[in-house]
Amino acid sequence: MDGIIPINKDRGMTSHDVVARMRGILHTKRVGHSGTLDPNVDGVLPICVGRATKVVDYLMEYGKVYTGSITLGYATTTEDLDGEVVETKVIDKPFSVSEIDEALQSLVGEIIQIPPMYSAVKVNGRKLYEYARKGETVERPSRKINVKSFVQTKPTVFDEEQHTQTIFFKVECGKGTYVRTLAVDAGKFLNVPAVMSDLTRQSSGGFNLSDSVTLEQLEKLAEQDEVSTVARPLSYGLRKFPAVTINAEQWELVQHGGFIKIKDEHRPEITIMYDNDIQAIYMLDERYDLYRPKKMLLAR
């Protein structure tokens, strides 16, 4: 089959675990995920199957929405609850709503973020977590990310016995954002160590939790031959591009990667439709006022 299936991932599973399980359920090797979701995080994980694996990169360009909590008063090696505590600071008086709002707002917009050591970002051909597990540190490349909004969702909780304070948040952000690091940076703004203490991905690739199914539900659907009821077509991942239907003569050119003329069309990128299916992504070559192939998705 070809399509995109939004999975509601359970905690305790890696994204690779989900892919491996789906290969077994769907009896195909052409399965890939659109953006890693850490084992201790649950929520939406869009999975591409068959030809749809070719649009993984485009799905990742859609924004993501997370809800969770940040606990102030201590920090860990992994920036979440999985790591060892490396710093503590007693909080005797809880931060006010306005102080927390200011900290979160300071991280909204286009900002520079340094990925955590416990991450899959590669440096010199090795993933950062491989260095971290050996106790090694390396210079991490900074990256530009975009945070659309970062707000509190309910009143904070101050623990007088533990001398910690927990913030509940919702964040809308672009690809490449480490929410764990946003949590730590919010703490830095308040001059206290912080850790991401809970996280759920509510939306990714244009899919919400309400659109998603668990692996157990998918298994049952597969047994009943009803997987198609929860799968979206490949075109769903490319819906931001205008779709142009071509004729048989143009189709002959497209099959061989040829340039084509699209009358009255001058948008930078389009999807090519033929036989009621997306066959390619084409981009405008302004030198010749023709469209040329950017990515081939031939269905036949």
Query: Domain spans of the chain?
Result: 3-62+205-236, 64-201, 241-296
Query: Is the sign of the CA dihedral 38, 41, 44, 47 positive or negative?
Result: positive
Catalytic pick from 10, 17, 38, 185? 38
Q: Which of 185, 64, 36 is nearest to 114 (CA)?
A: 185
Average pLDDT, integer, range 273-289: 92
Which pLDDT does position 121 carry in this prediction? 67
Which pLDDT does position 117 carry in this prediction? 67
Q: Would you call 54 exposed, middle or buried from its count of C-beta atoms within 10 A (0-12, 13-18, 19+)?
A: buried
Report the CATH fold assignment for 241-296.
2.30.130
Average pLDDT, integer, range 123-143: 74
Number of C-beta neighbours around residue 242 at 10 A: 12
Q: Return the half-sphere exposure (C-beta side, CA atoms, 13 A cut-off) of residue 118.
A: 16
Which pLDDT does position 131 carry in this prediction? 72
CATH architecture of 64-201: 2-Layer Sandwich (3.30)
Given a cut of 90, is residue 137 above it in pLDDT? no
Do 3-62+205-236 and 64-201 have matching folds?
yes
Question: Which class is domain 3-62+205-236?
Answer: alpha beta
Place of tokens 């210079």: 139
Determine phi and psi for 217, rounding to 5 degrees: -65, -40
Cα-based angle 146, 152, 155 (whole degrees, multiple of 5) = 165
Average pLDDT, integer, range 61-82: 94
Q: Which of 193, 186, 192 is nearest to 107 (CA)?
A: 186
Query: Could you confirm whether 38 is annotated as catalytic?
Result: yes
